[in-house]
Amino acid sequence: MRTLGVVARGIRTPVIREGDDLVNIVADSVMEASKEAGFSFNDKDIVAVTESVVARAYGNYAPVSAIAADVKEKLGGGEIGVIFPILSRNRFAICLRGIAMGAKKIYLMLSFPADEVGNHLFDEDLLDEKGVNPWSDVLDEKAYREKFGYQLHPFTGIDYVDYYCQLIRECGCECEVIFSNKATTILDYTKNVLACDIHTRERTKRRLIAAGAEKVISLDQILTAPIDGCGYNENYGLLGSNKATEDSVKLFPRDCQTFVDALQANFARSPAKTSRP
């Protein structure tokens, strides 16, 4: 009777840099690890490679100035609503810099008490204590502060409301923050909207358009084509991007199937294999 389930091994590779031959690096690293640890491959084994190193090796980077140019082109460069962003220094703050550089004023609408992936602005029990209904109430910054004060993230020590507002203003853009879980609330402030939610973005856009929005795009519609030769992703745009430097983002890699095919072909040629992973 089989008693052993799935076994996962982390494979150490050299540091991956832009332009590296990732196919050979991955294949060689896996084969060396198999020799060192004494394991072999079987049918249906899987070699997983993170999208981060694929994008890094392929050089799929873009400066915040490119984000700014695309936002300005698609939303007009004036007043825009930026709604439902996640609370993240690495995943969204660098994108917000570019967005702010491409607008004159941002109405920043945050969901509360948490973003869609569970990062909390404050403890949800405070909603009951303060008598706030998150499904119907809309708060401006003054009302938010009066009820919830300055809440710091337990791990980063950041007040994300203050952090995002300061970041926007440092880019020379005006900022007004709103707290609402209803997408159409933003239309009381502006008709041009950037929907920053991830899993619900298509529904959000449909609801905004039906309610009278004039221009509505989502993060996957920014940097879908190169601007001045920078990186891009035709399918996901800024979705899946990460901070690379203070002035650039690393985008989700393009044409991953070509990489997978090349990697499989490399393993198939290797004399050290027992079967192709």
Beta-carbon count within 10 A of 173 CB:
21
pLDDT at 223: 98
Residue 106's identity, in one-letter code, is I
Residues 227 and 233: beta-carbon distance below 8 Å: no
Predicted pLDDT at 261: 87
Exposure string for 32-69, b = 16+ CB within 10 A, e = fewer: ebbeeeeeebeeeeeeebeeebbbbbbebbbbbbbbbb
Q: Which domains does the chain have, with CATH numbers?
A: 22-59+253-269 (no CATH), 63-247 (3.40.50)
The pLDDT, as a whole number, for residue 228 is 94
Contacts of 4 (CB under 8 A, 6+ apart): none
Q: What is the mean pLDDT of each run of 10 residues along the chain (277 residues)?
A: 85 91 92 89 84 88 97 97 96 96 98 95 95 97 96 87 97 98 98 97 98 98 96 95 93 86 81 48
pLDDT of residue 205: 98
Alpha-carbon gap, residue 49 to 243, rounded angstroms: 19
Contact between residue 246 and residue 93 where contact means Cβ atoms under 8 Å apart: no
- For the sheet with 215-218, list strands across it: 139-140, 174-179, 105-110, 79-83, 192-195, 215-218
- Write the DSSP symbol of residue 136: T
